[in-house]
Amino acid sequence: MLDETTKNLLIVEVNKLLPENSENKLISAMRYILLAPAKHIRSFLVVASSRVFNAEAKKVISVAAAIEFVHAYSLIHDDLPCMDNSDTRRSQLSCHKKFDEATAVLAGDGLLTLAFEVLSSLNEKRCEIIKVLSQAIGIKGMVGGQVLDIDADFNKIKEIHLMKTAKLFAASCEIGAIIGDATDKQRKALYNYGINLGLIFQAKDDIEDYEQDKTNNLMSVLGKSEVENYIDALFKQGLDNLSELSGDINYLYDLLNQVRKDG
């Protein structure tokens, strides 16, 4: 998702904040998932949203890296035997399979705390940014969504999609808006865009994963045709959100189209 220039900036920033140390098992585990090939959607959203307000990528790249740390932490912990018990992630062994379970737990903890260390070092707006992120990934967001006990019901499945994925998408957009000195109206438009984008992302994921896992899947309760109609409605809402912005929305528009098409 990131253009090559921004991706290179992100990799340089990650290496600066978390330098390679082959003799340190914990650091190796933290870098293992973090630097695996990925779409980097969440960090892209920080950069693309700030671009709407003419902020340069290099000025927001440390924040984008922090968001990437948070996402990597969530993936490591999601894959653990006590959670989703997944053996692979990003076309390679999951962290606890590559290393061991205890190291994976600590690697996730290390990435999460490093993210907040980075954000707390910002010169401006750090408290506001930390608050937005904390709300997206805490008990009212990603962590809370992980423990929801869901029966096959559309509203409940949508709620877990919202909490586990869409709120962090939205927070990434809003953080980019904060960095860019957006108005309250612009912040809200970008936040809502992130929500709609995240819900599309999860709906596409449900279509792709249906044959492997029918549990808590929109396809199980709606069928493919209705899920596609749901995606179309979310896409239109995302376009409406972007229409409220007057800056450079090309990156966000392209991402919305790409996620709708490919997930």
Region 252-262 average pLDDT: 95
- Would you say the C-alpha torsion 150, 153, 157, 160 has a positive or negative sign? negative
Quote the pLDDT of residue 215.
75
Domain ranges of the chain: 4-262
The pLDDT-based confidence of 149 (bands split at 50, 70, 90) is low
Mean confidence (pLDDT) of the chain: 93
Contact predicate 2/43, CB 8 Å: yes
Amino acid at 152: A
User: Residue type at 88?
Assistant: T
- 193 pLDDT above the threshold of 80: yes
Q: CATH: 3.40.109.10, 3.40.50.300, 3.40.190.80, 1.10.600.10. Which one for 4-262?
A: 1.10.600.10
* Share of residues in the chain with pLDDT > 90 (%): 81
Give how far Cα 97 sits from Cα of 32, 84, 230, 237, Å.
12, 13, 36, 40
d(CA 49, CA 115): 19
Looking from the CA of 109 toward its CB, the CA atoms found within 13 Å total 7
pLDDT value of residue 151:
65
* pLDDT tens-digit readout, 14-55: 999 999 998 999 999 999 999 998 989 999 999 999 999 999
Average pLDDT over residues 114-121: 97
